[in-house]
Amino acid sequence: MYELNHTLVVKLSKNIHSGEKLLKEACLLPYLRVRLGDIIPLELAKCVVDIDSEQHVILVYEAIPGESMVHRVPSQTLSTHIVCRRLAYILQRVHTMRLPAECAKVVPVYNTPQKWAETILSEVYRLTEMAGSTLQPDLRKTIFEYVDDYAGRLQHYGFTPRLIHGDIDPRNILIDASGYIVGLIDWGEAAVGDPALDYGGLFYVDDHIGNHVLKIQCEEQVKTLLPRLKFHRDLAPLYWVAYGVSNNDHNIVDEGLRLLQAKFRS
């Protein structure tokens, strides 16, 4: 991803998988912007180009003025209640949006517990492969046992499938100088699936914010949402390890391993 003069964001796919994500994002952005307004980037252009005999996708959109929550939690400047109401409203608007027919071919639909469980298992295998030898065998085995157990229980939990962002974390939520939420970006992981995944991501913004949004959201009773949310929150550090290894970011790898070991070796 490249940002030009703080006004344009240019994304270039690295491979077929990331190209599919960019095409998905490009399809969804106009519809999301109608529903959610200026917090969604304005798409300016997309194209498929040949580079070294390989097809790559280029997506260009206007940059949203603001900074990610990675370095500053909004509760430091605004009241927590204002921030949480805003987050709850945004997620509810996303989750109650119908999947546009034009995007049906590029946005995956996991509309049963079995399909959702299968994609979770597939994703965990992919992430552990990316993490490689960074994950010790006993930790890897424990993670797979945890996922298998959850996949079995998910048949009893059930959920109402919704359009989800799929990658809620501090990098993808933008705030202004006062801490007001001004952007929700990076829609490459969007799918129709379990909204608990999005609520779980809020806990990596800030524990207090995650808990408060969970209490005030109106989509689902907390007691039914919480067990599914907890699973996704517990596994989030696996993404950090996998992508940290991929990007040679030792800090995020170390933090992800610390959290995984604290959870699965306690």
**What are the angstrom distances between the C-alpha of 264 and each of 21, 57, 90, 109, 259?**
31, 39, 32, 30, 9
Q: Where are the domains of the chain?
A: 67-264
pLDDT digits (tens, 9 = 90+) for 24-34: 999 999 999 99
pLDDT digits (tens, 9 = 90+) for 52-84: 888 899 999 999 999 998 876 655 556 778 889
Amino acid identity, residue 111?
Answer: N
Instruction: Please tell me the least confidently modeled range out of 74-78, 94-98, 237-241, 252-256.
Output: 74-78
Radius of gyration of the chain (CA): 18
**pLDDT, position 73:** 62
**pLDDT, position 156:** 86
Pick among 3.40.250.10, 3.90.1150.10, 3.40.50.2300, 3.90.1200.10: CATH of 67-264: 3.90.1200.10
Instruction: Give the residue-averaged pLDDT of 204-225.
Output: 92
Instruction: Give the residue-averaged pLDDT of 188-208.
Output: 93
Instruction: Give the residue-averaged pLDDT of 106-133.
Output: 95
pTM over 0.85: yes
**Cα–Cα distance measured from residue 88 to residue 195, given in angstroms and rounded to the nearest whole number:** 12
Contact of 227 with 96, CB cutoff 8 Å = no
Contact of 237 with 101, CB cutoff 8 Å = no
Phi-psi category of residue 6: left, alpha or beta, with phi > 0 → left and psi -120 to 50 → alpha: left
Beta bridge partners of 253: none
- Please state, for a pLDDT cut of 70, what percent of the chain lies above it: 95
Residue 1 has pLDDT above 90, yes or no: no
